[in-house]
Amino acid sequence: MSEIVDQSLQKIAKGTGIIFIGGIVGMLLGFIGRALLARFFTQAEYGIYSLAFVLLSIFVTISLFGLQDGVARQIGYYRGKNDLLRVKEIIFSSIQIAFILSVILSIILFFMSDFFSTKVFHDLTLATPLKVFAFTIPFFALTQLFVSIFRGFESVKENIYFQNILRNVLFPVFLIPVILLGLPFIDAIYAFATSIIVTFIIFAFYILKRSHLSLKDSIGNLFAVNPIGKELLLFSTPLLGAYMLSKIMNWTDTLMLGYFMTSDIVGLYNAAVPLARFIVMFVYSTHFILIPIMASLYSQNLTSEMKRTYQILTKWCTFAALPLFFIFMLFPKVILSSFFGANYVKASLALQILSASFFIHVLIGPSGAAIIAMGRTRFDLLACSIGTVSNFLLNAILIPIWGINGAAIATALSLVTVHLLYLIKLYQISRIHPFTRNYLTPLFASSLIMFLIYFIARNFITINVWLLFSLSVLFFAICVVVLIISKSIEEEDLMLLLALEKKSGLNIKTVKNILRRFV
């Protein structure tokens, strides 16, 4: 068991390390684009961009038909069985399905843009951005699918190159001239659309030079009939429903704020949301590579190895996220004013509420990814359905009463509900859970120490964004020290360090020797 767990953790550590760093870079670059929009255009225009992006994301999600996770899972599963012919057929079918659906949905969004702008959101200025975004749907969808195909082969660098870095670099690059020349807001929308299209073109050239994945043949035969497509659709249909519902659950607050409130309120709320999502980037980094690896373990009936892998990953994701969670919870006004400006301080309570819910997700671990890896796509659909319905009802009730804080509460409650359902089901079918002594003891101790430091420091120190960075480093150091003192470091933790050392090229021999004394 230990050897298999170590191998799985090393693969995940290598992939997760790259995804995590790339994810941070990508989120920061994406954050730059949003911050530029928020600072150099009006709050209402930033709200229009947010609404248009949500609708674009919904249509892209539908066009992918659940293939983002379905393709990665199926490729990982059949690679575990060494059925390479089936792997090639899955690749071909997925590209065929995504291409056809994305073109159809691009046309639908283009002709429905006036309806959305006038009948749903009551803002005529939304129509043109939606029409521009409609053209990007095939490019956006196929870029995401290509990343998922490489993901099935446990290759993560394509996600970093194209999803996290290239597109998020191109947007501010194209946006800055718009700002400097004082061009109208619609040109900022064109800048975003251009970043999506250029990213796809560069990715396509990258793929055509790597025909060992059979992508070249797949692209060249988009309209050929392939029987494996039916099987892939049957497997991915519940995933489409679940993925679509989870996205709708994430977007319902923004959409319903747009319906009940005004565009400037939407812009205010969407300053808090991307910040809070930084907390889950640690666990999301594991999702990318975890699904194909756990699917491979599951195909070999290695449930005990899956459980141990899950526990170790959850522990490290939690302690990586803990300092950031405390920073957002304790100093929301400083964070918001520093990144978005003083006008956005009104979103402080919303940031705290969202941060708490995302951290609960981290505490539970990558439960949704484990459910998908085990092929329980129907339960995934059921859990997301419950979350989406409850989110819609709560938003409808709470937004008219409490505005953006009501939206944050609705999202928080529905998100926690879904992940608790995942965890209960996971325990029911495989006895997998993250709550070991080596997880809970240092968690409570570290949290207590951080609270004490905050209550002491707030009476003597004026907090600014640079001091928050120092506090983050201090909080992270506290987590490490508590883990060591409480003897919560395990052999598998050292395996993770070895994998990261090998991947990064750093020499951490002294650190490893110290930690071994406490194992």
pLDDT band at 353 (very low <50, low <70, confident <90, very high): very high
| CA pair distance 64, 220, nearest whole angstrom | 19
pLDDT of residue 501: 47
Q: Is residue 236 over pLDDT 80?
A: no
Q: Is residue 344 over pLDDT 90?
A: no
At 154 the three-state DSSP class reads coil
Query: What is each CA distance from 47 to 54, 251, 264, 267, 496, in whole angstroms?
Result: 11, 13, 6, 4, 42
**What value does the mean pLDDT take over residues 277-291?**
76
List, for residues 354-386, the tens digit of each pLDDT value: 999 999 999 998 888 888 778 787 888 888 889
Query: Across the chain, what does the average pLDDT equal?
Result: 79
Q: Is residue 390 over pLDDT 70?
A: yes
At 83 the three-state DSSP class reads coil
**What value does the mean pLDDT take over residues 385-412?**
92
Residue in the structure block whose two tokens are 């994945």 = 213
At 38 the three-state DSSP class reads helix
Q: Is residue 91 over pLDDT 50?
A: yes
HSE-up (13 A, CA, CB side) for residue 79: 23
Q: Which of the pair, 498 or 263, is modelled with greater confidence?
A: 263
Contact 214, 63 (CB under 8 A): no
68-72, 200-204, 343-347, 405-409: range with lowest mean pLDDT: 68-72
| pTM listed for this prediction | 0.69
Which residue in 109, 295, 280, 142 sits closest to 219, CA to CA?
142
pLDDT of residue 17: 55
Residue in the structure block whose two tokens are 């060249």 = 220
Q: Is residue 113 over pLDDT 70?
A: yes
Tokens of 201: 């073109």
Contact 364, 284 (CB under 8 A): no
Q: Which of the pair, 477 or 508, is modelled with greater confidence?
A: 477
State the distance between the two ends of the chain, measured CA to CA, in whole angstroms: 18
Residues 6+ apart with CB under 8 A from 499: 9, 10, 11, 13, 14, 17
CB atoms < 10 A from the CB of 221, how many? 13
DSSP classification of residue 344: G
Contact 431, 424 (CB under 8 A): no
pLDDT of residue 21: 64
Torsion over CA: 233, 235, 238, 243 (sign): negative
| CA pair distance 195, 175, nearest whole angstrom | 10
Torsion over CA: 147, 150, 152, 154 (sign): negative
Which residue in 486, 369, 477 sits closest to 436, CA to CA?
486
pLDDT of residue 458: 74
At 461 the three-state DSSP class reads coil
Q: Is residue 350 over pLDDT 90?
A: yes
Which residue in 155, 164, 277 sits closest to 207, CA to CA?
155
At 491 the three-state DSSP class reads helix
Q: Is residue 237 over pLDDT 70?
A: no
Contact 106, 112 (CB under 8 A): no
| CA pair distance 510, 493, nearest whole angstrom | 15
Burial class (CB in 10 A: 0-12, 13-18, 19+), 265: buried
Give CA angle at 387 (384, 393), nearest 5°: 140
| CA pair distance 116, 148, nearest whole angstrom | 30
| CA pair distance 75, 94, nearest whole angstrom | 11
Residue in the structure block whose two tokens are 């991947």 = 503
Q: Is residue 102 over pLDDT 60?
A: yes
The residues spanned by each domain of the chain are 2-435
